[in-house]
Amino acid sequence: MEQLSGLLRQLRQQLEQDFPSAAGMRQITLPIPDRLAAMLLEWLAAQTQFPQFYWRHRDTQQEAAVCGAVRQFSHPLQAQAFLHAYPCARLWGLNAFDDSALLLLPRVEILSRSGKGQLTLNLFSESSLHEDAVTAGRWLDELRVAKPIAALQVKVQSVLHQPERPAWDAMLHDALKAIENQQLDKVVLARSTLLTLANPLFAPALMAASCKVNHLCYHFMMRFDAHSAFLGSSPERLYLREGQHLLTEALAGTVASHTDERQARALAQWLLQDAKNRQENLLVVDDICQRLQGGASAVDVLPPEVVRLRRVQHLRRQIEGQLNRGDDADCLQRLQPTAAVAGLPRQAARDFIRQHEPFSRHWYAGSAGYLSIAQSEFCVALRSTQIDGAQMQLYAGAGIVSGSDPAEEWQEIENKVAGLRTLLQPEGGF
């Protein structure tokens, strides 16, 4: 691609500057051709350097592809300390359900907003910027042009749920008993589904397929190497921080969607009026408001609305407030995990999950996005999957409150996981 050749030539010219043999950070930022801005996922999929992170906002106006890592951080506090030292930086990645993280200062970040894009090359060294500029030049030599992503061709050989249905019913029985005994108000229980495939799955192909059909979702993908990735298409924002203004939401309460417009609207109306789902949503709202106490003022809760997705519909209330300080580590500590993915009280729910779920959530139900001094945004890492070669681990959960029915909650999980599962082969195929 001619446009990429010209871009690389400009970057190499910039790298010929006389960088000091001292610690520091520099950024080289250039506009990119419109054609490249329209093919960010295809460009990222063609690269052979890792880690890679892809992000597309649910409003579709913002998209990012980042490649390589100049620095990595395993906790938000480390990342935030770096940003205070180098306020020009932007970090991308994942925060796990268990409080760990993988946040990257990428070698290259390509960011597109409303179809117009720019590329940023990050240089950083704790000893010699000159040496890192030389390293970056060699790194650029390995970049490849974007090419179309082949359509998914997947054959599922076996399916294993954790837990299977009888164990699910028993787990929910224990949860309802804990709720009845007032040990919990709510707990969100999840299921992991291991698919064994005939051939290794190319993660960008699944991401591309999901982007085409799972609208109103954040799309995210972390490729750790050529064979391992965590990706998902989530409807839920954890938070958006612009300066000290915070926007978050309670997304809890679910009903099936429908291809027929009239039936979909009827289901949405039922969701708005159903006592169990309204209670589940209000529990999340109350928890978020309580958690923001001492960290934010002028907190306002907007009226409920229904978010209609391809397979399910959700009850959502948006919440905004003014933070006392623009502190992302504090925001993450207060808001993650929300009651929509863990439960209430938070610690009791997390203890119940740890004792009863037969798998580790790790990245699932954590968050994915970016942070910087000026602005940060993370979505909740839902409707997600871990890919390792020819194995694919799908995750989905359901909020359990008083009155929950195990059969209905199992079906809710089936509906949620179908957002990715049905991309592999026709419904009913497994």
Q: Is 79 helix (H, G, I), strand (E, B) or coil?
A: helix
* Percentage of the chain modeled with pLDDT above 90: 90
What is the average pLDDT across 293-298?
94
pLDDT by residue (tens digit) across 160-219?
A: 999 999 999 999 999 999 999 999 999 999 999 999 999 999 999 999 999 999 999 999
| 429 band by pLDDT with thresholds 50, 70 and 90 | very low
Asked whether residue 430 carries a pLDDT value surpassing 50, the answer given is no
Pairing of strands 52-56, 71-73: unpaired
Compute CA distances 398 → 178, 190, 230, whole Å: 16, 6, 21
Domain boundary assignment for the chain: 2-70+106-140, 156-421
Asked whether residue 1 carries a pLDDT value surpassing 70, the answer given is no
Choosing from 109, 126, 147, 236, which is the catalytic residue? 236
> How far apart are alpha carbons 243 and 424 in whole angstroms?
41
> How far apart are alpha carbons 228 and 391 in whole angstroms?
10
pLDDT recorded at residue 2: 54
Tell me if residue 357 is catalytic. Answer: no
Lookup: tokens for 254: 């679910």
Q: What is the mean pLDDT of the chain?
A: 94
pLDDT by residue (tens digit) across 215-269?
A: 999 999 999 999 999 999 999 999 999 999 999 999 999 999 999 999 999 999 9
pLDDT recorded at residue 240: 98
Tell me if residue 320 is catalytic. Answer: no
CATH classification code of 2-70+106-140: 3.60.90
pLDDT by residue (tens digit) across 90-123?
A: 999 999 998 899 999 999 999 999 889 999 999 9
| 3 band by pLDDT with thresholds 50, 70 and 90 | low
Q: What is the pTM of this model?
A: 0.95
Instruction: Name the CATH topology of 156-421.
Output: Anthranilate synthase (3.60.120)
Count Cβ atoms within 10 A of the Cβ of residue 177 and give its class: 0-12 exposed, 13-18 middle, 19 or more buried. Answer: exposed
What is the average pLDDT across 20-35?
95
| Beta bridge partners of residue 83, listed in sequence order | none
pLDDT recorded at residue 368: 98
pLDDT recorded at residue 49: 98
Choosing from 186, 249, 409, 416, which is the catalytic residue? 186
Lookup: tokens for 298: 């002028």
Residues ≥6 apart with Cβ < 8 Å to 76? 95, 101, 103, 328, 329, 332, 333, 371
Does the annotation place 412 within a ligand binding site?
yes
Does the annotation place 408 within a ligand binding site?
no
